Amino acid sequence: MSPDEHSVAATGEFGLIRRVTEGRGQPPSTLLGPGDDAAVLAAPDGRVVVTTDVLVHGVHFRLDWSSPEQVGRKAVAVNLSDVAAMGAKPTSVVVGLACPADTPAQVVTEIMDGMWAEAGAVGIGVSGGDLVSADQLVISVTALGDLEDREPVTRSGARPGDVLAVCGRLGWAAAGLAVLRRGFRSPVGVVNAQRCPEPPYQAGPQAALAGATAMMDVSDGLLADLAHLAAASEVGLDVQTALLEVSTRLKEVGSALGADPLQWVLTGGEDHALVATFPPFDDLPEGWRKIGVVTMPGSGVTVDGREFDQQGGWEHWQQ
């Protein structure tokens, strides 16, 4: 059977590469972009921040829930968020995409459109990548960043007495997922938070300049990710619910679905907000808000001073 004329098989690997790369501009930091055996990137700081995430259809996204462009934006956003969480400025992304032979070429083109759009939003480009055949749609993105002569902000620098703060939304993506699982597609703002996160990219370098002692992005749920930060820093962390923002929209969705919106805020993942610790007497950077404090080692992650006994957060192979 001959392939459908609109499929990736009919378009061919190199024809598809031309479709997704021709006419695309590159920032000055990309010295040599797609078309050779490898890209060449400038590294002014002499150090390069590198991170990779893999997104699998049916696990991280669904094309019956999201448009291909939204999938592309999400694939890039989740990686650029990790770069920002190190206090670095994104400089480039490299993409690997695998899909079945009967995948419409337009789907791949639109995924790449979304990737270029999200990368362009922070002034960078897609420097290269690879396209291969597979039994299901899988997207791998590697993002790179520049520390701009700063030290990286890791998970291991928090100290007792530090302020725990967050920048970005919490709970929205989890609420959107709950809506989609019920078969609904609105409210659009909540659903789109799940389809395509909006990480506060600039907040990472801002936090680094302001003296953040530790930082990470919230991908698997606030409490789950704070447990990683607490372990790396060998401290405790206490989240104070009175300081958390639970928007009116989340309360409305929670009421409609019979769910507690605070649970989404505390345990829901995929918003890709940034969470950081700061010295106790310093002003927080613009956009950051206090949500708790760093406590003594051995106290773990608590909520209002007590252990949180409701399960949440994401861990692969454990769901």
Residue 199: burial class (beta carbons within 10 Å; 0-12, 13-18, 19+): buried
- Per-residue model confidence (pLDDT) at position 311: 56
Stretch 270-280: mean pLDDT, rounded? Answer: 97
Answer yes or no: are the C-beta atoms of 301 and 266 closer than 8 Å.
Answer: no
Percent of the chain with pLDDT over 70: 94
Q: Per residue in 71-87, pLDDT tens?
A: 999 999 999 999 999 99
Domain boundaries, the chain: 8-146, 163-307
Q: Please give, one letter per residue, the 3-state secondary structure of the chain.
A: CCCCCCEHHHHCHHHHHHHHHCCCCCCCCEEECECECCCEECCCCCCCEEEEEEEEECCCECCCCCCHHHHHHHHHHHHHHHHHHCCCEEEEEEEEEEECCCCEHHHHHHHHHHHHHHHHHCCCCEEEEEEEECCCCEEEEEEEEECCCCCCCCCCCCCCCCEEEEECCCCHHHHHHHHHHCCCCCCHHHHHHHHCCCCCCCHHHHHHHCCCCEEEEECCCHHHHHHHHHHHHCCEEEECHHHCCCCHHHHHHHHHHCCCHHHHHHHCCCCCEEEEEECCCCCCCCCCEEEEEEECCCCCEEECCEECCCCCCCCCCCC
Token digits of residue 280: 């106790």
How many CB atoms sit inside 10 A of residue 50's CB?
15
Find out if CATH 3.90.650.10 is the number for domain 163-307.
Answer: yes
Annotated binding site for Mg(2+): 37, 51-53, 82, 130, 217, 220
Annotated binding site for substrate: 60, 270, 314
Tell me what the pLDDT averaged over the chain comes to: 92
Q: Per residue in 196-240, pLDDT tens?
A: 999 999 999 999 999 999 999 999 999 999 999 999 999 999 999
- Per-residue model confidence (pLDDT) at position 317: 40
Answer yes or no: are the C-beta atoms of 50 and 69 closer than 8 Å.
Answer: no
User: What does each C-alpha distance from 52 to 94, 141, 245, 302 come to in angstroms?
Assistant: 9, 6, 30, 30
Annotated binding site for ATP: 129-130, 155, 219
Annotated binding site: 37, 51-53, 60, 82, 129-130, 155, 217, 219-220, 270, 314
Q: 25: pLDDT confidence band, cut at 50, 70 and 90?
A: confident
Q: Is the pLDDT of residue 12 over 60?
A: yes
Find out if CATH 3.40.50.11060 is the number for domain 8-146.
Answer: no
More confident residue, 309 or 101: 101
d(CA 24, CA 27): 10
Q: Is the pLDDT of residue 1 over 50?
A: no
Q: Is the pLDDT of residue 7 over 90?
A: no
